[in-house]
Structures are given as C-alpha cells and as structure tokens.
C-alpha cells in the first residue's frame, strides 16, 4: 500500500492556499521564531510553525515570574514580549524564506486598525506563508473587553485583516467566549480561511508562603493536558458548524491526543506546551500518525477528520443539511 | 520598554572547541549517593562524546515523572555537578524540595531518565585569573564543583566557601579536590563560622581575581551588600548563576528572562551565568 | 494560645444564618446524600455537606458511560440522577435532622418557576440548613441557553428563590459565563446570601478505538486539579467585587489548595472530586487547617480570607472604596 | 424513567457475620509474582482482622500514583484474588493495561499503597448448591479463585473454566486448589480448546447448580447466547461480575450504574455481582 497522505490545505478557499506536508504545527509562543528549536529537532519536517505573537510596537513583556506549573498544566503571563512588527520584519522572514517549512505569523493588537496595519506589512513578505490572528486581546476601544469574547468584534478584526491581505488567514479563537460557535461562524463569514483553537484559558496560582499571586501579572493563560477536554469539546462544537478548516490545539501530548482532535473535526493540530516537556515529540507525532494511518488502512489523514461528529463535517455534507442550529446542550454541564 | 533580541543560534561551543547541540536523550541512573543531609548525588550516563564538552555552569533539564502521567508536567533544570569523559557520565546534586526533585532524588539505580541538554552558558574564567573564589549556598554547590575541577586542572588556586543550615547539610570535604581551601559557615554554628557564608567573603576579596557564586536569591543580596565596600572599580568581577522557573530551556518561551543592562535576556540560553553587576536586581 | 477559630457564617445577612463549625464543605454530586460516606469518615466533623442536585421530577440520569478520567481531572455526565424533590423530601431530611453537620440541598431546574417551587418545599423542612442553587442548567424558555451564563437570567432565578424561602441561599456560579463578576454582582443584588463557585467546565473525551465520544452524553463536566487555576482566578475576581461570602471550589486536593482559595477571597471551600480519590482527605484538611493557623499564629481562618486581593475584601473596606470597576484585564490571557 | 433508590447503608456483613466497613488504609506490597504473561500477582498487607471478613467478588480501590502527582487522578478497582486471615494479607491480580495498572503492576516490594475497601457485594452461593461452574476470561480469573477456595472449604465441587489469548496468559494450575476440575480455552489453541471459553460452558450446564462468571463484556454476550438454549426455567442461575468505570466506589457519584430490572443500581455498592438475568444489557 502507498504511504498514507498527511497533507492538508488550511486555506482551501484562498488562491494563495496554505498546503502543509502534514497536519502537525508548532503553536504560537511555544516555538519562538522556529530557530530556537532548530538545534534539537528537524524543524523542516513540521507541517508548519507559528511565530510568537507579534504586536504593533516592541514589548518587553510582563515582570517576572511569568510562568508557573499547575496540575498537568502551566500558566504563562509572558505579556507578548516581542520585537514589534518592524523589528520582526527585519529579522525573521528572510531566514524563513530559505526554509522548506511554512512559517505562520501570529499577530496581536489592541485595535482593529493595528491588526490591519500588521497584516498589510506581512501581505507580500517573502518567507511568510500565512497569518494567525490572535483575538484573545483586550480591545482598548471597548474598555479592555476581549475581542474574542464577542462575535461582532471578532468579525470586525477578521474583516479588517481580510481587506489588508490576501495571505491565508487563520483566526485563533478564545475559549473565554460564552458561545464559541457564534464567534466561529462570524469570523468564517467575515473571511477567515480557517479557525484555530483554543488559546489559553485564564487562570491563577497563589504562593502559599507569600500569600500573593505567583505570577507578577496575577493571572496567566492555562495550557497543557489539563485543558484538553475543554479544547476538544470546543473543536467538536465548532467543527460541526463551520465549513472552513478547524485547527485544534490544547494539551496535545502525543498521537492519541492528536487523534482525538482529528476525530472531533480538526483538519490539523497545533502543539504548544508539550514541546517544552518533550521537544522530540513533535517529529515523533508525525511519524506515529503516518504509522497509525497505515496500520488502520486509512489512505489520508483527512478521511478521519470529524469521525466523531454525529452528522460529519459540514463541508462534506449536502448544502441543505448544513444549517445546523446552535446546540447549547453540548455546552451545559450535566452533573 | 526594552527590545528583545532573540537568540538566533543555540549552538554551544564546548571546552575543547567542539560544537555541542542540546539534545533530548535517555540517561540511566548509574549510582545514587546520599549527601548533604537529604540530598542525592546521581551519577548519570551520557551519550558518547558529550561529557568532555560540558562546561561548568551549564545545566540539564530532566523530566520528573513516569510515563503515562502528565503531572508534574514540565522538566526541572539541574546544574552539572561534575562530568567525567572517561566514563561518559555526569553527576547531578538534587535536593528533595517539591514534587519534581523529591521524585528525582528517590529514583532507584537503573531508572532511565529523559534529559534535555546541555543547556545554558557557562562560567567564564579569565585567562589571567590566578585566584578564584567560589561562594556556594546549599545545592548551589553543584556547578562550582565542576568549575573548581576545571580551574585546578588549569593550575589556578581555588578557595571554596560554602554555607548551609547545619554541618550535615554541608558538602563533605571528600567531594572536593584536596588542594582547595575550603571554608564553611552554618546557620546553627554546628561547623565553621556561625552565620552566612557571605560573612566570610570580604577577607578574600583582595586575594581573588574572580568570584563565582551560586545559591538562593537572599545569598546574592547579601553578597552584593558585603562585597560593595571591598570592591574597587568593580574588581574582582563576580559571576552568579541565577535561578528562574523555566519551561522550554531553549530560549523559546520567554518565561525565564532576566533583566540586564543589555535588555531582557533568556536565562536558559543567555544565562544562567551573569556578571552580577550587569543584572538589574 | 487558644485553638484558632475555624467557624464561618455563610449567610451573615440572613436572620436564619448558616454557621459552620469549620469552612470545609463536601461538594454537590460528590458526596451523595452524606450517608454514603458515613462509613468511611466522621461526616459530623465537616463544616457542612451539599446534597446531590435535586430536580423537580425524578431523573434516571444519562446513559453509561457517565464518567471518564482526564489529565489531573475527570469528566462526568451523570445527568442529575436523583429521586426528585418529592422523593428526596420523604427520605433524607428526617435523617439529617438528627445530625450535627448542616446539610445543604443543591437544586437544579429548567425554569424559574421550578426553582421557586422546590425552594418553597424546602423552606421550613427540619434537617435542611440551606439551599445551594445550581444555575448551570439549560433554561428551556431561552432555548436551552444556560441560566448561569447570563446575569439577568441568574438574577431572575435568585429573586424567585429568595421570594420562596428565607433559608440561607448560596447561588452556585457557572464558569461558562463570559464575565462571572457581572453574574455574581447580579445574584448578590437579587438576594443571594453567598455565592459558591465554580461548577464544572464543559469538556469532552474521545475514545481512540471507537472514534466516538467516551461519554454516552458526548460532553461532560470537567472537575479536579486540572481546573484549579481557572476556579481560583474566578474566585479572586468575584471576591474582589461582592460583599457576600464566596465559597470556593475546583480541584482542591489538600491544605495548600484550600489556602490558595482562602487567600483569593473564599470564606469557605468545597471539595468534590478529591473525595473520590482520597475520602480521608476531608477530615485531614480540617485538622491541617487548624494546625497551620496555629503555626502561623493566626487566631481565625477569616483573618486570612482575601489576603491575596490587592485591595482586600469589599465587605471589609469602607463603603466608598467598595465601588470597584470590572477589571477585564484579569480575565484576558496575555501569552 | 426509573427512580433511583440510593443505598442508605454501606455496611458489609463479612463471611463470619462481622460487620466490615470500607476503610482507606495503607497497605504494603509484600510480594510480586509475574503470572499470566505480563500480569502481576501482588500480595498486600491488610489491617488486622480484615482478611477473614473479605468475601469473594468484593474489590478494593487502589490509588495508582506517587505523592505529589495528581495524574492519574482516580483510584482503580481490583477484585480480591485471595485473602489469608492467618498472614493478614490479600492478593490482587493486575494486568498492565493502561496508566494505572501499568504503574501498579510494576511497583517494587515494600511500596506502600493507599487502598480503599473492601467494596461491593459478593458472589452468593446458594446453601443447597453442590456443583459450581466458574467461567473466567483473562484477569476475570481473580474473584473466581477466592470463590473457589471458599466453595471447596464448604465441601462443594468446582469446575473452573478459563479462557485467554494463549497458553502463557492462562492461570497456571498451581494457583488453583488441586481438587478443582480445570478446563481451558485459548484463542490460538496453544493450550486446551481453540476458541472461546464460553464454548466449553454448555456441556456443564446440566451438572452445575450455579454458574459464576467474570471477564470482559464480549464474554458475557457469548455466555448469554451459548447458555440460553441449555438453561431451563433460568436454571442454573448465572452470577456475573460487571465492570464499570468508577470514581467513588461508595455509591455517591452515580458514575458506575448498571440498569437492572429493579432500577438503576450503583455497581460499586449494589454490585459488581449481579444475577445475569436481572441486568438489562
Ligand atoms: C539553572 C538552574 C540550575 C539548578 N540546579 C539545581 C541543582 O543543581 N540542584 C537542585 O536541587 N536544584 C537545582 N535547581 C532547582 C530545580 O530546578 C528545581 O526548581 C527544584 O529542584 C525544585 O523543584 P521541585 O519540582 O522539587 O519543586 P516544585 O514543588 O515543583 O516547585 C518549587 C518551586 O519551583 C518552581 N518550579 C516549578 N517548575 C519549575 C521548573 N521547570 N524550573 C524551575 N523551577 C520550577 C515552582 O514555581 C515553585 O516555586 C536549579 C534551577 C535552575 C534554574
Ligand atoms: C469491580 C472491578 C474489578 C476489577 N478487577 C480487576 C482485576 O482483578 N485485575 C485487573 O487487572 N483489572 C481489574 N479491573 C479493571 C481495573 O480497574 C482497571 O480498569 C484496569 O486495570 C485498567 O486501568 P488502567 O489505569 O491501566 O487503564 P486506563 O488507561 O486508565 O484506562 C483504560 C480504561 O479504563 C477506564 N478507567 C479509567 N479509570 C477507571 C477507574 N477508576 N475504574 C475503572 N476503569 C477506569 C478508562 O475509561 C479506559 O477506558 C476491575 C474493574 C472493576 C470495575
Ligand atoms: C508560554 C506560552 C506563550 C504563548 N504565547 C502565545 C502567543 O503569543 N500568541 C498566541 O496566539 N498564543 C500563545 N500561546 C497559546 C498557545 O499557542 C496555545 O494556544 C495554548 O498554549 C494551548 O495549546 P497547548 O496546550 O498545546 O500549549 C502561548 C502559550 C504558552 C504556553
Ligand atoms: C460526579 C460529579 C457530580 C456532580 N454533580 C453536581 C450536582 O448535582 N450539582 C452541582 O451543582 N454540582 C455538581 N458537581 C460539581 C461539583 O459540585 C463541583 O462544583 C465541581 O466538581 C468542582 O469541584 P472539584 O474539582 O472539587 O470536584 C458534580 C461534580 C462531579 C465530579
Ligand atoms: S525557559 Fe523558555 S526561554 Fe528560557
Ligand atoms: S463509583 Fe461512585 S457510585 Fe459507584
């Protein structure tokens, strides 16, 4: 039998397409700019990687401590330390341009205009394969209310970025939204080529000795295996509703976790925190996935995407079936 | 706001000029010796060729959990206590403190550990330095032992000062080369000076060409205050190994930064060794 | 020195008061009706316990499997199996009436009227010390949208229960709300004596062999240490805003976790999942807390409540300082 | 909808009429024997007085993690394989399957385990039953060994049928009393009948006064179908030990329920032993 196909296009509706050799992507903030891990693994074998979040201006980030461990998870409050879009552009894209692996740039901002400004700068930049729009940021114009919690605000950002670039664009959803499906449908409608999910959940730890928050920023983003059940539920809900590809992440530590996300409807997966614990896992995951598909006699990873969805993927259903009502029941705990 | 300059190259040049890349490797526990009260000195196997290139001050990141468990999740950094290129081994000094270290310190011989390393920069001995002063607090003793080994091999003079809670918690003399001057301080006075190890420092500051320190933050604070009156024009220079919670160990997560006069630096790649005067404390 | 005081009143504004000998409470759904654990521990030593959720009609619950383990957590979809308010009333309160430990009844319903109906039945029942109102339930009148996600709907339930009973009433907040502080303020305003938080987060697990959700109900509620950072952050936010006592829960496994919740502003804690893993822990926690307070020279557990809050507890601040604006920043992830 | 009748009394009456409450206790691993391929037979210490009151079919819930780790979080239930009141010990048969069991099966002697038990109801031998048939699949062998011990002590006749993947995975004869008739089946035919253990059942259904079975769900399915034609008026009665994921083990969480003709029952308290015909499969 031929080796199974691992390839996936994360922007099937975009002429500039975003074809990955395999569906394993290193997640934003956990892989620096790709170079940091070049010494410990063959970065070129990845499906893609996403850069640390870039902002309009350079940021020195939050005070220390910025990270702390929690049960089967971690909290981070890096505070988007990065050289700013201009510093970034001078340095990394030209290095990536010589690379085989697609590099996706994660952008964060506090106003719709700033998102659009960054997208314009990235639009024709050699070395940049796509954009991931991080909408888990406070909207200054809305008193700090997070863009990603609100469908209309999320759609505004998406539309502005879409108008500024034809690059493949993935919008990264916030798990803080009360109804992540509405947000996903809104950004799909506003022109996103794909959605990625989930970003971190906001959490906290307190130092029992000092009686103060462990993190200098008090709160931080929770990631790692602890959040996997939540991430998987959200992917399952969103994948049942949108037609564009869903990129799943949150606590993936190996093949079984990745398979859960594929079955829930993710066309590709991102791996963040696990890379810290076991950098070798990323490449092993690609190999394990290929072997598993062969062992199951599956010709392409895309065949298993959405296997757990009762009605399958909307993009594969007849148009008339595709109008799914939002099912709140899936999101109400039934203790 | 300080602009970050992320590190582009994680290659590390070993003592012999060999390029050593950090690797994730399996390492077997070959021996476990109880030492310094409840701490454990672990002897670990290394991939061929690595031992000789390890430099004093570097560390390794150890996964402290069994397969099938994700708690604790992250690796724990441990300074290299000693490396032996003949036996292709290294030693780590582990004090059982919390979840990770308690697990690691109680592993039986033959356990296979998942290790990432070598990581970080190293202590730098100036070619013209003759007299070196080591200042160790608790398990901070570890990297200074390797540094002492290397310094003596190069024919330099070493004074090794160590502080601990009590006599039991001191590194026994047998773990240090015999031609080292060893001075000790204990909180309870059960051995050596009663008080802080840093109390002993001033009398050596004239003698020393360089000072190297590793220990908890309060030790650095007291080192800064006791030494300030005795140092002229910032001499002797003092290098310290700083401790930050780490996630990646490779400069990617920006979780372990240290603010320096040259900007935010990742202590896992651009550290953990810093010139004390360059750090913004 | 005298033994430190562990006592707490969870309904200081209510003449019927809810005074507990200590701030350790067994959580709803994890302690049955108190009788199940009577064989393995001295249940009478607890500060209180909360019954399994009671509904207007008997429920046989969801199909099996109903529970599955996740990293440092568990998912449950019991589906509120219970004998219904009438079956419940016939059996348990008369047993509890002879007990020293206060019994709190957890009520769940799908309409405001049903909540009120149950509260009326419980109002004067001997053996019932208080009510915990579980608002993480679908509101049938709102198309299944969860009461607890919406401040107005949460207030409606609270007001209706308040009108139906003078019993001490604790409203149990849902972590699914986009802004849990607004919900807390709304239920405080509507007459709640205390808020308890958090209920489970909705999650999912997929069986890699069958490629289907593990739970028959597909989704379930996530609890245990995995959720502790999220619970703690929400308690910290809410305790900074409301004047009534906050009862914290989510992943408490022992003294250090409980202390984190006290420092974050919880006046008492509930323990759920941990009881499954280590039933002995509940009593140990009470003892450990007493010893810790003595060792720290603290005379009463209430002295440490809110120690991590920058401005302290609102109920202890002067009235003029108490108007705190909602600070979204604490709830936006800063990767 | 079926109305639940939660259990009010978790007291268990032991074989000798003694009331045994479930307790959380520390238990030391006294011996570990490899058995049935990769499984392990653990001998564990018991609190004084408990061993004699344990009944066949009961189980204990073991915490399968080290202190300081919360993953895996929940206990794992294991049937009691044998209990010895003279040495105050019990044995558990553990097949390394997933995270918890792999950890437990590889624990060294002297490990202290956190055990909750005894839990659950027990197999019930009717006073007039002379001939008992045991049907074991894999580690389902465990509770039937204890039941066999008790039945023989009462002077009854026992035929013990066991099925496994291959000869290696069968319980060796040495673990069964010598006066038992032992019939085996293997998937690969490497020992005994080639096929399912349930294929062997029909020929004993006339002889047996009662049947007791423990194994995976598919074994029960096949037991139901092969036996239906041979049982008259539901005789002989068949008791089975069912397996559900459990959280509390005490009837509190309602996570482990079994639907029966008498309503929803908690398999940890009202089970795990059920009359096969009463369960709604
Ligand atoms: C460069 C460096 C060298 C070190 N060398 C040694 C050594 O030679 N010997 C020695 O005994 N210890 C050494 N440490 C400390 C060691 O890494 C652990 O922090 C220590 O063993 C306690 O970990 P724990 O899991 O037992 O404690 P925990 O109970 O997990 O945590 C105790 C504290 O450590 C913090 N912590 C959690 N995760 C990490 C992490 N991944 N990295 C660092 N801190 C964390 C927590 O925030 C907490 O405040 C070194 C640390 C660094 C940064
Ligand atoms: C009454 C009873 C008696 C049993 N007796 C034995 C015995 O004598 N020998 C033996 O080897 N096994 C026995 N088991 C099975 C045992 O409890 C474990 O399920 C098995 O060891 C696999 O656990 P794991 O952690 O290795 O697997 P995991 O990898 O954790 O899980 C494998 C499967 O077990 C399920 N599971 C997870 N947690 C639990 C839990 N707390 N309880 C039950 N299942 C869970 C998961 O949903 C998953 O489907 C018994 C089970 C029950 C209910
Ligand atoms: C240290 C750290 C930094 C992160 N920085 C960013 C970021 O800059 N932009 C972003 O969109 N997500 C960021 N994330 C979120 C991750 O990309 C990912 O969404 C999340 O960690 C969940 O995946 P995981 O459980 O595999 O880590 C960061 C996560 C971590 C742990
Ligand atoms: C098996 C199970 C059943 C539960 N049933 C209920 C319930 O009936 N009503 C309710 O308000 N909460 C219920 N909960 C939620 C708990 O009371 C608690 O809010 C949650 O588990 C978080 O705390 P923990 O991490 O300590 O378990 C249930 C939780 C579990 C695990
Ligand atoms: S530990 Fe990640 S940058 Fe240093
Ligand atoms: S395991 Fe909780 S009721 Fe049976």
pLDDT digits (tens, 9 = 90+) for B87-99: 999 999 999 999 9
The count of other CB atoms within 10 Å of the CB of residue B200 is: 21
How many angstroms is it from D67 CA to the middle of ligand 3? 29
Question: In which region does residue C237 sit, left (phi positive, over 0), alpha (psi from -120 to 50) or beta (all else)?
Answer: alpha
Rounded Cα gap, residues A78 and A332, in angstroms: 32
Q: What is the pLDDT of residues D53-105, one digit of tens each?
A: 999 999 999 999 988 899 999 999 999 999 999 999 999 999 999 999 999 99
Residues C94-124: pLDDT tens digits?
A: 999 999 999 999 999 999 999 999 999 999 9
Whether omega for the bond prior to residue B34 falls within 30 degrees of 0, making it cis, is no
Chains in contact with A, where contact means 3 or more Cβ–Cβ distances below 8 Å, are B, C, D
Q: Indicate the pairing of strand D75-84 with strand C201-204.
A: unpaired
Which pLDDT score, from 0 to 100, does residue C30 have? 98
Q: How many CB pairs under 8 A join B and D?
A: 29
Contacts of B150 (CB under 8 A, 6+ apart): B15, B55, B56, B125
Q: State how far the alpha carbon of C240 is from the alpha carbons of A318, C312, C322, C327, in Å.
A: 51, 7, 9, 10
Judging contacts by C-beta atoms under 8 Å, the chain D residues touching residue C57 are: 1
Euclidean distance between CA atoms C106 and C136, whole angstroms: 12
Distance CA C39, CA D264 (A): 22
D142 and D75 share one domain: no
Domain with residue C80: its CATH number is 3.20.20.70
Is residue B267 included in any domain, yes or no? no
Domain-embedded: residue A2:
no
What distance in Å separates the CA atoms of residue C73 and residue A204, rounded to the nearest whole number?
17
Does one domain contain both B148 and B222? yes
Is B235 found in the same domain as B153? yes
Tell me the shortest Cα–Cα distance from B210 to chain C, in angstroms.
Answer: 39
Whether D179 is covered by a domain: the verdict is yes
Q: Which residues of A46-64 are buried (b: 16+ CB within 10 A; e: fewer)?
A: bbbbbbbbbbbebbbbbeb
Query: Is D192 domain-assigned?
Result: yes
Report CB contact under 8 Å: A206, C308: yes
Q: List, for residues B11-68, the tens digit of each pLDDT value.
A: 333 333 444 579 999 999 999 999 999 999 999 999 999 999 999 999 999 999 988 8
* C272 inside 8 A of chain D by CB: no
State whether D87 and D35 are in the same domain.
yes
Give long-range contacts, CB 8 A cutoff, 24+ apart: A292-297.
A292/A255, A292/A259, A293/A4, A293/A6, A294/A1, A294/A3, A294/A4, A297/A1
The C-alpha atoms of residue D51 and residue D48 are separated, in whole angstroms, by: 8
Residue A291 lies in a domain: yes
Give the tokens for residue C128.
Answer: 């019932």
User: A90: which chain B residues are within 8 Å (Cβ-Cβ)?
Assistant: none
**Residue D164, phi then psi, degrees to nearest 5:** -155, 175
DSSP secondary structure, C97-121, as one string: TT-SS-EEEEE--SSHHHHHHHHHH
Q: How many distinct structural domains can be found in chain C?
A: 1
- A123 to chain C nearest CA, in Å? 24
- Residue with the larger pLDDT of the pair A312 and D140: D140
Q: Are residues D201 and D153 in the same domain?
A: yes
Q: How many Å lie between the centroid of ligand 6 and the Cα of residue C109? A: 24
Residue B157 lies in a domain: yes
Closest Cα of chain A to B248: distance in Å?
4
**How far is the C-alpha of D136 from the C-alpha of D146, rounded, in Å?**
12
Q: Is C228 in the pocket of ligand 4 (CB under 6 A)?
A: no
**Which residue puts its alpha carbon closest to atom 44 of ligand 2?**
D245
Residue B196 lies in a domain: yes
Token pair recorded at residue D104? 């437990």
In three-state form (DSSP H/G/I as H, E/B as E, the rest C), the secondary structure along A89-158 is: HHHHHHHHCCCCCCEEEEECCCCHHHHHHHHHHHCCCCCCCEEEEECCCEEHHHCCEEHHHCHHHHHHHH
- Average pLDDT in chain C: 94
Closest ligand 5 atom to Cα of B269: 4
pLDDT at D233: 85
Q: How many residues does chain C have?
A: 335
Distance from CA of D181 to the nearest CA of A (A): 41
| A35-39, B225-229, D96-100, D230-234: least confidently modelled range | D230-234
**Ligand 5 close to Cβ of residue B268 (< 6 A):** yes
Closest chain D CA to residue C272: D253
- Is residue D258 included in any domain, yes or no? no
Report the alpha-carbon distance of residue C224 to residue C249 in Å, rounded. 9
Residue D40 makes CB contacts below 8 A (sequence gap 6+) with: D32, D33, D34, D93, D94, D96, D104, D105, D106
Can you tell me which atom of ligand 1 is nearest the CA of B72? 30
Residue C3 lies in a domain: no
State the number of CA atoms in the 13 A half-sphere of A162 facing the CB: 19
Say yes or no: B174 contacts chain C, CB-CB below 8 A. Answer: no
User: Is B115 in the same domain as B30?
Assistant: yes
A267, part of any domain:
yes
Comparing alpha-carbon positions, the chain A residue that sits nearest to B62 is: A277
Whether D264 sits inside 8 A of C59 (CB atoms) is no
Report the domain count for chain B.
2
Pair type for strands B157-164 and B131-137: parallel
Give C275-325 pLDDT, tens digit per residue: 999 999 999 999 999 999 999 999 999 999 999 999 988 877 654 544 555
CB contact under 8 A, B71 and A87: no
Q: Please report, in tens digits, the pLDDT of each residue of chain A (335 residues total).
A: 689 999 999 999 999 999 999 999 999 999 999 999 998 999 999 999 999 999 999 999 999 999 999 999 999 999 999 999 999 999 999 999 999 999 999 999 999 999 999 999 999 999 999 999 999 999 999 999 999 999 999 999 999 999 999 999 999 999 999 999 999 999 999 999 999 999 999 999 999 999 999 999 999 999 999 999 999 999 999 999 999 999 999 999 999 999 999 999 999 999 999 999 999 999 999 999 999 999 999 999 999 999 999 998 887 765 444 455 566 677 776 77
Q: Which residues of A281-307 are buried (b: 16+ CB within 10 A; e: fewer)?
A: bbbebbebbbebbeeeeeeebbebbbb
Q: Is-contact B252 B196, C-beta < 8 A?
A: no
| DSSP symbols for A30-61 | SSTTSSTTTTTS-GGGSSEEEPPPB-SS-B--
The angle subtended at Cα C234 by Cα C231 and Cα C238, nearest 5°, is: 140
Pairwise CA distance, residues A150 & A160, whole Å: 16
Question: d(Cα A208, Cα A112) in Å, to the nearest integer?
Answer: 40
Identify the domain containing residue D11 by its residue range. Answer: 6-119
Chain D touched by A71 (CB under 8 Å): yes
Q: Is residue B79 part of a domain?
A: yes
Q: Which ligand is nearest to the CA of D122?
A: 2
Cβ of D176 less than 6 Å from ligand 6: no
C1 in a structural domain: no
| Mutation to test the A interface, candidates B75, B253, B266, B279, most A Cβ within 10 Å | B253
- Whether C137 is a known active-site residue: answer yes
Question: Which residues of chain D are at the B interface, by a Cβ-Cβ cutoff of 8 Å?
Answer: 65-66, 68-72, 98-99, 102-103, 108
Which of D182, D187, D47 lies closest to D116, judged by CA? D47
- Lookup: tokens for A126: 């050699």
D5: pLDDT strictly greater than 60: no
Give the C-alpha separation, B20 to A12, whole Å: 42
Nearest CB to D69; choose among B67, B72, B108: B72
Compute how many other C-beta atoms are within 10 angstroms of the C-beta atom of residue D124: 16
Q: Is residue B266 part of a domain?
A: no
d(CA C39, CA C323): 48
Contacts of D85 (CB under 8 A, 6+ apart): D51, D52
Strands (E), chain C: 8-9, 19-20, 24-26, 48-50, 67-70, 73-76, 103-107, 130-134, 138-139, 145-146, 169-172, 194-197, 201-204, 206-207, 212-213, 219-223, 246-248, 268-271
Look at residues A282, A261, A260, A285 and name the one whose alpha carbon lies nearest to residue A272: A282
Task: Among C272, C273, C274, C278, say which to mutate for ligand 4: greatest number of ligand atoms within 8 Å of CB.
Answer: C272
A137 vs C263: CB contact, 8 Å cut-off? no
Model ipTM value: 0.94
Structural element, H or E, at residue A258: helix A255-264
CA nearest to D66, candidates A32, C114, B69? B69
Q: Is residue A3 part of a domain?
A: no
Residue listed under structure tokens 């295996």: A225
Question: Quick check: is C216 in a domain?
Answer: yes
B104 lies in the same domain as B138 = no
Cα A158–chain centre separation: 15
Q: Ligand 2, closest atom to CA B68?
A: 29
Q: Domain of D102: which CATH number? A: 2.40.30.10
Give the three-class secondary structure for C29. Answer: coil
Query: Within this chain, do residues B91 and B136 fall inside the same structural domain, yes or no?
Result: no
Whether residues B14 and B67 share a domain: the answer is: yes
Do B190 and B115 share a domain, yes or no? no
Smallest Cβ–Cβ distance between A276 and the set B7, B74, B114 belongs to B74
Q: Which residues line ligand 2 (CB under 6 A)?
A: C 68-69; D 59, 72, 74-79, 93-95, 97-102, 139, 142, 243-246, 272
Task: Look at ligand 2, atom 36, and give the residue with the nearest C-alpha.
Answer: D245
Question: Cα(B247) to centroid of ligand 5, in Å?
Answer: 6
Strands A8-9 and A19-20: antiparallel
Cβ <8 Å between B108 and D108: yes
Catalytic residue list of A: 137
How much of chain A is in helix, strand and coil states, percent to nearest 5?
Answer: 35, 20, 45
CATH code where residue B202 lies: 3.40.50.80
> CB distance from C13 to chain D under 8 Å?
no
Q: Quick one: D80 and D33 in the same domain?
A: yes
In-domain check, residue C211: yes
| Three-class DSSP category at C137 | coil
Contacts with B71 from chain C: Cβ below 8 Å: 71-72, 225
Domain range holding A67? 8-334
Residue C2's pLDDT band, with cuts at 50, 70 and 90, is confident
Asked whether residue B64 falls in the same domain as residue B105, the answer is: yes
pLDDT tens digits for D96-126? Answer: 999 999 999 999 999 999 999 999 999 999 9
């Amino acid at each position: 039998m031929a080796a199974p196909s691992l390839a996936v296009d994360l922007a099937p509706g975009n002429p500039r397409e975003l074809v990955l050799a395999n569906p394993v992507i290193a997640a934003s903030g956990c892989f620096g700019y790709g170079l940091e891990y070049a010494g410990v693994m063959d970065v070129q074998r990845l499906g893609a990687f996403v850069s640390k979040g870039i902002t309009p201006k350079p940021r020195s980030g939050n005070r220390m401590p910025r990270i702390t461990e929690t049960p089967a998870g971690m909290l981070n409050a890096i505070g988007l330390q990065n050289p700013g879009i201009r510093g970034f552009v001078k340095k990394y894209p030209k290095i990536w341009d010589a690379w085989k692996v697609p590099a996706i740039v994660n952008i964060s901002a506090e106003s719709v205009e700033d998102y659009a400004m960054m997208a314009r700068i990235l639009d024709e930049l050699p070395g940049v394969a796509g954009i991931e729009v991080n909408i888990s940021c406070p909207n200054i114009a809305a008193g700090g209310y997070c863009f990603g919690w609100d469908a209309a605000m999320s759609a505004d950002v998406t539309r502005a970025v879409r108008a500024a670039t034809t690059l493949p664009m993935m919008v990264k959803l916030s798990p803080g939204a009360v109804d992540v499906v509405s947000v996903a449908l809104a950004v799909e409608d506003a022109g996103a080529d794909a959605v990625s999910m989930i970003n971190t959940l906001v959490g906290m730890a307190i130092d029992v000795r000092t009686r103060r928050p462990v993190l200098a920023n008090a709160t931080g983003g929770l990631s790692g295996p602890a959040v996997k059940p939540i991430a998987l539920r959200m992917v399952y809900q969103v994948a049942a509703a949108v037609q564009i590809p869903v990129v799943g992440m949150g606590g993936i530590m190996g093949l079984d976790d990745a398979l859960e996300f594929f079955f829930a409807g993710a066309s590709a997966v991102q791996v963040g925190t696990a890379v810290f614990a076991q950098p070798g896992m990323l490449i092993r995951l690609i190999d394990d996935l290929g072997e598993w598909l062969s062992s199951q006699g599956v010709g392409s990873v895309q065949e298993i995407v959405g296997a757990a969805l009762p009605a399958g993927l909307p993009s594969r259903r007849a148009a008339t079936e595709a109008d799914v009502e939002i099912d709140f029941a899936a999101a109400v705990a039934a203790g | 706001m300080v602009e970050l300059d992320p590190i582009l190259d994680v290659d590390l040049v070993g003592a012999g000029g060999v390029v050593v890349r950090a690797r994730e490797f399996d390492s077997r526990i070959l021996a476990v010796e109880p030492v310094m009260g409840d701490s454990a000195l672990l002897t670990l196997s290394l991939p061929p060729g690595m031992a000789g290139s390890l430099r004093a001050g570097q560390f390794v990141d150890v996964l402290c959990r069994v397969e099938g468990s994700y708690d604790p999740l992250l690796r724990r950094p441990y300074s290299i206590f000693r490396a032996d290129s003949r036996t292709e081994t290294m030693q780590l000094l582990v004090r059982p403190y919390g979840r990770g270290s308690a697990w690691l310190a109680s592993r039986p011989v033959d356990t296979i550990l998942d290790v990432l390393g070598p990581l970080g920069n190293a202590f730098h001995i100036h070619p013209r330095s003759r007299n070196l002063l080591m200042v160790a607090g608790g398990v901070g003793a570890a990297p200074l032992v390797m540094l002492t080994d290397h310094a003596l091999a190069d024919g330099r003079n070493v004074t090794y000062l160590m502080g601990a809670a009590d006599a039991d918690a001191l590194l026994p003399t047998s773990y240090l080369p015999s031609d080292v001057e060893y001075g000790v301080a204990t909180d309870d006075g059960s051995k050596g000076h009663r008080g802080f190890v840093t109390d002993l420092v001033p009398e050596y500051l004239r003698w020393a060409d360089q000072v190297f320190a590793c220990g908890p933050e309060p030790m650095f604070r007291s080192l800064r205050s006791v030494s300030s009156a005795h140092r002229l024009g910032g001499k002797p220079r003092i290098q310290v190994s700083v401790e930050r919670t780490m996630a990646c160990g490779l400069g990617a997560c920006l979780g372990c930064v240290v603010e320096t006069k040259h900007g935010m630096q990742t202590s896992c790649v651009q550290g953990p060794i810093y010139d004390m005067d360059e750090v913004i404390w």
